[in-house]
Amino acid sequence: MKKAEKILVAMSGGVDSSVAAAVLIEEGFDVTGVTMKLWGGSSDTGCCSVSDVIDARRVADQLGIPHHVFNFGDEFDAHVVEPYVAAHAIGETPNPCIECNRHVKFDKLFRRANALGFDMIATGHHAQITEENGNFRIMRSVDQSKDQSYVLHMLTQDQLQKLRFPIGTMTKKQVREKANALSLQTAGKADSQDVCFISKTKGGRQLFLEERLEMTSGQVIDTTGTKIAEVEAVEMVTIGQRKGLGVSGERNPRYAIDVNVQQATVTVGSKDDLFCQETPIVNLHWVGNPDSDVLDVQTSAHGKTSPARVDGRVIWEEPRMKVAPGQSVVFYKDNEVVGSATATKTTV
């Protein structure tokens, strides 16, 4: 009889990873659960609270599998929290969940799993992995309303061949039905959608950054350079923002179309000024060969795609809203992730 493959399942304390572990047990894997302790500060959001660890352990007990807690706090601080603060300091809008996946969940965890003799790791992400002629591909989830392939664009071939997303072929409704059928502790638990190290009840993002940055007060100017208002912290403004700029009560709405921390200015314009034909990018990466076809391009975790070509920059088929510098730009073809980049500074 063939020995069951050993698989380490990242259990966040939510329903998705709980069901992922249950599915793998049914498929005959030798399953062990692990919860990563990432954030050492106070947390009432995301997946880093003490209660989440308890929930994951209780589900593991229900499923009859071992459960461990790995403390990756140092890596999380170095690769997620510090870059998050640094990005705001230069007027960018970072995506910490992507950096957590890149450096912690699919790097540090992989290395720890290999050292402990596991054959594979698995998570509860809503995405799929397919393989053709030895080439692994990242595909959207069956449930596209919950699809998380956008935050997985950095995965490599070496990682994909040792990775499983057991619920990628299930809808969220099916995941909950499965959890209820198994009477899992997390069956009715709400999804976490917030940044895990930003507290909702203790000042939110602004207080978090104020404790780590010297905020820059600045001028709000229009496209002619005329001062029309002031902001207390330029670092808190993002492209497309309307509220909190001292101009939201005007008859004609104005939006942030440029943020310049060095010059301590926020430029505002009309909604039409928010639109652009091209988006400058850095860190361009193709999963396979560069693709010159029109692709579906997604610029936020749950945003709609827009058709565009990629030629050292993203050239939109139709003008679309500016992408905040620091955000990931992910390229799709027929629900497959074919490449990615990072939006960089745009000019007014």
Q: Please identify every residue annotated as catalytic.
A: 100, 196
Question: How many CA atoms, within 13 angstroms, populate the side-chain half-sphere of residue 222?
Answer: 9
Q: Please name every residue paired with 340 in a beta bridge, in sequence order, or none if there are none.
A: 285, 330
Per the structure block, which two tokens stand in for 38?
């990432």
* Length of the chain (residues): 348
Residue 33: name the closest of 185, 189, 199 by CA.
Answer: 185
- Residue 177, CB-side half-sphere exposure with 13 Å CA sphere: 5
- Residue 305: strand, helix, or coil: coil
State the greatest distance between any 2 C-alpha atoms of the chain, in Å, as a whole number. Answer: 77
Alpha helix segments (H runs only) across 133-217: 157-160, 172-181, 204-210
For tokens 């397919």, what's the residue? Answer: 130
User: In this structure, are residues 211 and 221 in contact, taking their beta carbons and an 8 Å threshold?
Assistant: no
Query: Which strands form 218-221's sheet, in the order they lie side by side?
Result: 227-231, 218-221, 265-269, 255-260
Question: Is beta strand 163-164 parallel, antiparallel or unpaired with respect to 120-122?
Answer: parallel
DSSP secondary structure letters along 54-76 = HHHHHHHHHHT--EEEEE-HHHH
> Which residues are CB-neighbours of 40 under 8 A, at least 6 positions away?
73, 77
Q: Rounded CA gap, 121 and 253, in Å?
A: 49
Question: CA dist 141 to 16, 19, 22, Å?
Answer: 13, 15, 18
Question: How many Å apart are CA 311 and CA 276, to the nearest integer?
Answer: 16
β-pairing verdict for 127-132 and 135-140 = antiparallel
